[in-house]
């Protein structure tokens, strides 16, 4: 990968921080798109200012990037989905993406590529159906969020920027995200399947998520939706039993759904934990990316530092 200058939003998050570390370690220049930075802070400080809520961005500081990776957005699984929270989830994605895309379209020296986050939630609850980038979207809340999120990149695409919408699955990491929240009860021997356990989970290790983003930056053949998942989706029962085996703990107690409903609300639990999404990385494989962790158990052992 030739040395590049990359602007990253959401760099404080799990994926953004890992991506920035990977790029910096290889000698690339990484600049942070950060809320509240002073205008003009992109010059020599590694920061570009924006405020999606106010609709402001330091357009002059956007000149001359080779790539932009847009990962910012409110968390989806940390609190129940009230009407206000759902609006925040949607608008934190659509407003920021529209603002950034429009600003990039207006600069003289535009980036070659915009990699903008999305999620496999766009497909909705699809049972055992095998899903590729060509599959139609679903119609639940997360599917609607993802559709509008991806559509907000249109100004950049219309300006000739190669746009990749990164449809990520469950990102496995030992120090953050959903897996890190699952591990403590499993360590206590209290982990188990959620619901029937028959729902499909499409996943990717954090090192591969970073690798896929870097692949999307450099590979000109990658355009449009890109499923960032392993080629080996598993059922929830397989996911939880494999995690228990890696941690050397039993896995016979199903997760108590009433407790989850009480804490997070039925809509969030059903929309994130009980949906079935059997997603295949068709475009990823066809454009030459080779996953470091194509299979679940080695991936879990790698991210949790649990050798066989």
User: Has residue 272 got a pLDDT over 50?
Assistant: yes
pTM exceeds 0.85: yes
Q: Is 288 helix (H, G, I), strand (E, B) or coil?
A: coil
Ranges of H-type helices in 197-256: 206-218, 236-247
In a domain, 199, yes or no: yes
pLDDT tens, residue by residue, 13-24 = 999 999 999 999
CATH number, domain at 63?
Answer: 3.40.50.720
User: Has residue 69 got a pLDDT over 50?
Assistant: yes
> Which residue, among 84, 173, 77, has the nearest Cα to 119 in the 3D structure?
77
Predicted pLDDT of residue 287: 98
Q: Is 72 helix (H, G, I), strand (E, B) or coil?
A: coil
Q: What are phi and psi of 88, to 5 degrees?
A: -65, -40
Average pLDDT, stretch 273-278?
97
What total of structural domains would you count in the chain? 1
Supply the range of the domain harboring residue 280: 5-303
- The count of C-alpha atoms lying within 13 angstroms of the C-alpha of 15, restricted to the half-sphere facing its C-beta, is 30
Predicted pLDDT of residue 44: 46
User: Has residue 1 got a pLDDT over 80?
Assistant: no
Predicted pLDDT of residue 114: 98
Fill in the DSSP letter of residue 169. -
In a domain, 167, yes or no: yes
CA–CA distance, 288 with 64 (Å, rounded to integer): 28
- In degrees, rounded to 5, the angle at the alpha carbon of residue 116 between the alpha carbons of residues 41 and 281 is 150
Answer for the pair 48, 32: CB distance below 8 angstroms, yes or no: yes
Average pLDDT, stretch 30-45?
69
**Least confident window among 30-39, 64-73, 145-154, 287-296:** 30-39
pLDDT tens, residue by residue, 204-255 = 999 999 999 999 999 999 999 999 999 999 999 999 999 999 999 998 889 9
pLDDT tens, residue by residue, 156-205 = 999 999 999 999 999 999 999 999 999 999 999 999 999 999 999 999 99
Predicted pLDDT of residue 308: 85
In a domain, 255, yes or no: yes
Residue 266 tokens read as: 């039925």
User: Has residue 39 got a pLDDT over 80?
Assistant: no
Answer for the pair 195, 278: CB distance below 8 angstroms, yes or no: no
In a domain, 308, yes or no: no
Average pLDDT, stretch 87-101?
97
> Which residue, among 70, 62, 123, has the nearest Cα to 92 in the 3D structure?
70
User: Has residue 285 got a pLDDT over 50?
Assistant: yes
């Amino acid at each position: 990968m030739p040395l590049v200058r990359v602007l990253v939003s959401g760099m404080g998050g799990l994926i953004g921080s890992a991506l920035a570390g990977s790029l910096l370690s290889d000698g690339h220049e990484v600049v942070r798109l950060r809320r509240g930075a002073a205008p003009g802070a992109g010059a020599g400080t590694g920061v570009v200012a924006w405020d999606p809520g106010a609709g402001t961005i330091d357009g002059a500081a956007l000149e001359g990037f080779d790539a932009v990776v847009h990962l910012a957005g409110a968390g989806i699984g940390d609190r129940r989905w009230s009407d206000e929270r759902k609006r925040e989830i949607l608008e934190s994605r659509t407003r920021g993406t529209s603002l950034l895309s429009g600003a990039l379209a207006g600069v003289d020296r535009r980036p070659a590529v915009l990699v903008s986050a999305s999620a496999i939630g766009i497909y909705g609850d699809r049972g055992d159906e095998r899903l590729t980038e060509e599959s139609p979207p679903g119609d639940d809340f997360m599917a609607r969020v993802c559709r509008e999120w991806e559509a907000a990149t249109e100004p950049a695409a219309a300006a000739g920027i190669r746009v990749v919408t990164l449809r990520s699955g469950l990102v496995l990491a030992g120090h953050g995200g959903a897996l890190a929240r699952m591990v403590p009860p499993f360590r206590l021997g209290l982990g188990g399947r959620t619901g029937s356990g028959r729902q499909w989970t499409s996943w990717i290790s954090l090192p591969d998520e970073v690798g896929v983003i870097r692949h999307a930056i450099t590979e000109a053949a990658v355009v449009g939706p890109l499923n960032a998942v392993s080629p080996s989706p598993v059922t929830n029962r397989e996911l939880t039993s494999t995690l228990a085996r890696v941690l050397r703990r039993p896995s016979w107690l199903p997760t108590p759904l009433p407790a989850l409903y009480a804490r997070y609300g039925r809509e969030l639990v059903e929309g994130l934990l009980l949906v079935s999404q059997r997603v295949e990385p068709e475009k990823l494989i066809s454009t030459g990316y080779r996953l470091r962790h194509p299979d679940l158990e080695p991936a879990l052992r790698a991210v949790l530092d649990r050798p066989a």
